[in-house]
Amino acid sequence: MWYSTVYGREAMRGKSVKPHWTLKTKLGLPSVFLLCAFFFLAGLFASTFVVQDVYGGGRGRARLLESTNYENEYELLPNGETGDDSITTIPFQVLSWNPRALYFPNFATAEQCDSIISIAEPRLRPSTLALRKGETVENTKGIRTSSGVFISASEDKTGILDVIEEKIARVTMLPRMHGEAFNVLRYEVGQRYNSHYDAFNPAEYGPQKSQRVASFLLYLSDVQEGGETMFPFENGFNMDGSYDFKECTGLKVKPRKGDGLLFYSLLPNGTIDVTSIHGSCPVIKGKKWVATKWIRDQEQDD
Ligand X SMILES: O=C(O)CCC(=O)C(=O)O
- Our CB check for ligand X shows the closer of 160 and 185 to be 185
Whether the Cβ atoms of residue 125 and residue 147 lie closer than 8 Å to each other: yes
Among the listed residues 278, 289, 293, 295, the single contact to ligand X using CB under 6 A: 278
- Our CB check for ligand X shows the closer of 4 and 195 to be 195
CA angle 78/80/85 to nearest 5° reads 55
172 forms part of the interface with ligand X (CB under 6 A): no
* C-alpha–C-alpha distance, residues 148 and 194, integer Å: 16
193 forms part of the interface with ligand X (CB under 6 A): yes
103 forms part of the interface with ligand X (CB under 6 A): no
229 forms part of the interface with ligand X (CB under 6 A): yes
259 forms part of the interface with ligand X (CB under 6 A): no
* C-alpha–C-alpha distance, residues 251 and 230, integer Å: 5
- From 117-125, 201-209, 239-247, 275-283, span contacting ligand X (CB under 6 A): 275-283
DSSP 100: T
280 forms part of the interface with ligand X (CB under 6 A): yes
Q: Could you tell me how many residues of this chain bind ligand X (CB under 6 A)?
A: 10
Q: Least distance in Å: CB of 193 to ligand X? A: 5
Nearest residue (beta carbon) to ligand X: 229
100 forms part of the interface with ligand X (CB under 6 A): no
Q: Least distance in Å: CB of 60 to ligand X? A: 28
* C-alpha–C-alpha distance, residues 213 and 262, integer Å: 11
Residue-wise burial string across 138-174, b where 16 or more C-beta atoms lie within 10 A, e elsewhere: eeeeebbbbbbbebebeebeeebbebbbebbbebbeb
Residue ranges of alpha helices (H) inside the chain are 8-12, 29-65, 110-120, 160-172, 202-205
Residues between 199 and 218 that touch ligand X (CB under 6 A): 217
Q: Least distance in Å: CB of 196 to ligand X? A: 7
292 forms part of the interface with ligand X (CB under 6 A): yes
Residue 285 to residues 66, 149, 228, 231, Cα–Cα distance (Å) = 32, 23, 12, 21
Sites of contact with ligand X (CB under 6 A): 185, 193, 198, 217, 229, 278-280, 290, 292
